[in-house]
Amino acid sequence: MRPVNEWLDEYAGSHQNPTNKLLHWICVPVIVISVIGMLWALPVPAVFDRISPALNWGTAMLVMAVVYYLFLSVPLALGMIVVSLAVTSLLRWLDSHAVPLWQLSLVAFANAWVGQFVGHQVEGRKPSFLKDVQFLLIGPLWLLGHVYRRLGWRV
């Protein structure tokens, strides 16, 4: 497996334009939340509910993502656990207060991807995930890596 810094550096290579970066700061979190939201809204086997009402396809995806991140960087994986808890709290609230969660998530997902592609049009480079689908999981880590560096923390 490639070291995390190689992934982040390669991802950064196609995210140099300030407009594209800004759009990614907005759209990547929206995409993550909306994907988890759509999965959250899918029916689950009754056994999931008996174990915990918070156990659903969305939380299962978050757990799998954090396991992947553990192989890349323990410090970033720990940060993604905090991010995952925030995402699940937000989705739990939205699920009880908003229009059907899957509808809200679908609209947010579509709009965020439009923003991503606009950013890459401005950048003049293709999205990284077209080269390797793993970059779909690297995008959120790239943003968190920026936060870590800003705080002077090790990636």
Reported confidence tier of residue 11, pLDDT bands at 50, 70, 90 = very high
What is the mean predicted confidence (pLDDT) over 21-43?
96
* Mean pLDDT of all residues in 31-35: 98
User: Model pTM?
Assistant: 0.92
Round to whole Å and give the CA distance between 147 and 35.
Answer: 22
Q: Percent of the chain beyond pLDDT 70?
A: 100
Q: Residue with structure tokens 């880590």?
A: 141
Asked if residue 39 has pLDDT above 80, the reply is yes
pLDDT band, residue 38 (cuts 50/70/90):
very high
Q: pLDDT tens, 55-103?
A: 899 999 999 999 999 999 999 999 999 999 999 999 999 998 878 999 9
Average pLDDT of the residues in 41-55: 82
The pLDDT-based confidence of 124 (bands split at 50, 70, 90) is very high
Closest Cα partner for 66 from 143, 137, 139?
A: 137
Q: CA–CA separation, 102 vs 34, rounded Å?
A: 8
Structure tokens at 151: 């705080």
The residue ranges of every structural domain in the chain are: 4-12+20-150
pLDDT band of residue 51 (cuts 50, 70, 90) is confident
Q: What is the DSSP annotation of the chain?
A: ---HHHHHHHHHHT--SHHHHHHHHHHHHHHHHHHHHHHHHS---HHHHHH-TT-SHHHHHHHHHHHHHHHH-HHHHHHHHHHHHHHHHHHHHHHHHSS-HHHHHHHHHHHHHHHHHHHHHHHTS--GGGT-TTHHHHHHHHHHHHHHHHHT---
Chain Cα centroid distance, residue 86:
12
